[in-house]
Amino acid sequence: MSTPTVVIHDALTGETVVRDMTPEEIAQREADQAAAAAAKQAADAEAAAKAAAREAAITRFKALGFTDDEISALVLP
Amino acid sequence: MTWVKTAEVTFSGSSAVNIDGCFSSAFSHYVVTRNLLGSVNNENLNVRLRVSSTDDSGANYRRQEIDAASTTIAGVRATGESSWRCGLGRCLTSQLGYSQTRISNPFEAVRTTAWTDWSYNADSTIGLNRIVMAHDLTTSYTGFSAIPASGTITGTITVYGLKESA
């Protein structure tokens, strides 16, 4: 795999440099990607838990005799 | 309000774009626009503030976003992050994506704040997203980095300073 590149533009001089990322920049990029993956996993888990709780609530409302329209009015999306 | 271009850079296949010297005492408020394609579809394009040719990657970025997709509206708040996630929206592979980001007081030694509006309208869907952002430190910044969460980006980023009209 080729080394990722970074573009550096100096607005004061108008100069633009393209170079390979340094080992430190690559390490930061990998850390960013790991953090993003962990955050997504946590968000997905939270969303799944909310969805499960919502479905459980709907099931219990139905068992109590609520109609679908009544449940829709009570249970927010 | 007059927009005065302070920086513009065009690039191809880059994993990060660093823009130095675009913020100064000449302006307090800035607009960043971009026309980009990403190598990974629907990938976040994150932002880090920058000074002395170095990214500020400390865990001092916070954001609140609202995402509207069809009839579903979702909110997200995050603090202690090391960049403004989606600070320049997301990248699409199939068509140029547009976003507009306003950054306030990056050069002043006060907390920098920003907001971004962007839409996603490719692949038979459409939606909108607004993110408000803040940085916890009172550092003076002279630039920023645009960093795709994965893959590379190709296109143009332009920065404008906002000048009060007479």
Q: Which domains does chain B have, with CATH numbers?
A: 2-163 (2.60.120)
pLDDT per position as a tens digit, B47-105: 999 999 999 999 999 999 999 988 889 899 999 999 999 899 888 888 887 789 999 99
Please give the residue that has the higher pLDDT: either B55 or B125. Answer: B55
Residues ≥6 apart with Cβ < 8 Å to B106:
B23, B30, B49, B112, B140, B141, B142, B144
Report domain extents, chain A.
5-74
Match 């309000």 to its residue by tokens. Answer: B1
Strand partners, B111: none
Q: Any alpha helices (H) in chain A, and if so which ranges?
A: 23-63, 68-74
- For residue B28, the model assigns a pLDDT of 96
User: A-chain residues within 8 Å CB-CB of B150?
Assistant: 33
Of A5, A13, A35, nearest to B15 by CB-CB distance is A5
- For residue B82, the model assigns a pLDDT of 95
Q: Which of these, B159, B145, B150, B153, lies nearest to B56 by C-alpha position?
A: B145
Inter-chain contact A7–B17, Cβ cutoff 8 Å?
yes
User: B-chain residues within 8 Å CB-CB of A8?
Assistant: 18, 20, 53
Residue A77: is its pLDDT beyond 70?
A: no
pLDDT band per the 50, 70, 90 thresholds, residue A10: very high
